[in-house]
Structure 1
C-alpha cells in the first residue's frame, strides 16, 4: 500500500504502525488490493484539525478525525454498499486523505477507558470507510457503516465501540 504519512505533532509515536494495521484491515475487508491503494494520513493536534474543520466543514472546533475522499463512492440507495473504487490509468486507486488529532484521540480514549492505540485504529478505520463511500448521515447508511466498522475492528481484536 502507498501510505503517505505526515506527522505535524511529535507526540504521534507509532502512528505509522497503527495506520498500516487499520488501513490494511479495511482494504482486505473491502476486497481491495493494498498494493494498488493510495492513502494520505496527517497526524496533527487540535489546533490544526480545528482549522481544517473550519475550512472544509465550516465547524471551527476540534474533532477526532476528518476525511476527504478522492471520489464520491456513496450508494444511491440508503443502506446499500458503496460503489467499489476503480483504478486510474496508472493502475492505482487513490482513496483520499485522513487527518487525526492527537489531543482529541487521547482525551476520548481516556474518557472511555480504552487504550489510545485501539481508539486510533478505530478512528482510522472510520476515516477509511468514509474514503470508501460509507457515511452515517442517513440512518440506513449509519447502520451499515457501524456493522462494517465493528466487523473490521473485531478482526483487529478491538471490542465493539458502539456496544450499548
Structure 2
C-alpha cells in the first residue's frame, strides 16, 4: 500500500491545532465495523502531530497477504501500521482486519467497538514512533493506550472481560 502525502511547512505541534487528513476505506464484507466518525474520533484522540492517514478495514485474505508480504507472518493479524514519512505531516496507513478483530473481541469478552478503538489507537501510536519491542517501550506504549482508550469511555484495553 502506498499513500501520497503532501508537504507542509514545519510548525510546533499543539494538541488544539493538530490537523488530520483521514481517508477511511472499507474493503470488508463485515457489517459490524465502526463508522468513519468513530474512526476519526479515535485517531484524533491518539494523534499528537499533524498526519495524513489512510485507514483500511479488510477481510482475512488481504490481512493475511499484507502480514505475509510486509512482516513475514503466516496469518492475518488484527492491525498493521505502514509509515511512509516521518516528516511533517506524518504519513501512513493503518490496516485493521475485521474478522480477526471480531474473533478476538468474542474470545476476550470485549465489546467489538472498544476493541476497534484500542487497535486504532495502537496503530496511530505506532505511526508516531511508539513501539513495544522492548519491555520499557511496551510499558510506555501500553500506558498511553490505556489512558487514551479509557479517556474515550471504554474499559481497560488489556483486561479480558469474559
- Normalising TM by the smaller chain, what interval? 0.7 to 0.9
Deviations 1:26-71 (A, max 9, x none): 12xx3x3xxx421111110111100000000111211100001224
Instruction: Give the match for residue 157 of structure 2.
Output: 161
Please give the TM-score of this superposition, normalised by the length of structure 1: 0.79
CA 1:14/1:160 → structure 2, altered by over 3 Å: closer, same or farther? closer
Q: Work out whether 1:150 is the aligned partner of 2:150.
A: no
Please give the TM-score of this superposition, normalised by the length of structure 2: 0.80
Instruction: Give the match for residue 51 of structure 1.
Output: 65
CA RMSD of aligned residues (A): 1.7
Deviation, 1:18, is 2.3
4+ residue runs over 6 A deviation: none
Provide the secondary structure at the position in 2 that maps to 1:70.
strand
Contact 2:34–2:116 (8 Å) recurs in 1: no
Deviation, 1:21, is 1.4
Instruction: Give the match for residue 20 of structure 1.
Output: 40
- Supply the distance in 2 between the matched residues of 1:105 and 1:163 (Cα, whole angstroms): 16
Q: Which has the higher contact order (CA 8 A, sep 6+)?
A: 1
Contact 2:67–2:77 (8 Å) recurs in 1: yes
Deviation, 1:17, is 2.3
Provide the secondary structure at the position in 2 that maps to 1:135.
coil
> Where in structure 1 are there 5+ consecutive unaligned residues?
73-85, 88-92
Q: Work out whether 1:9 is the aligned partner of 2:23.
A: no
Aligned ranges for residues 1-164 of structure 1 at < 5 Å?
1-12=20-31, 13-27=33-47, 30=48, 32=49, 36-71=50-85, 86-87=87-88, 93-163=89-159
> Where in structure 2 are there 5+ consecutive unaligned residues?
1-19
Between Structure 1 and Structure 2, how many residues are aligned?
A: 140
Provide the secondary structure at the position in 1 that maps to 2:154.
coil
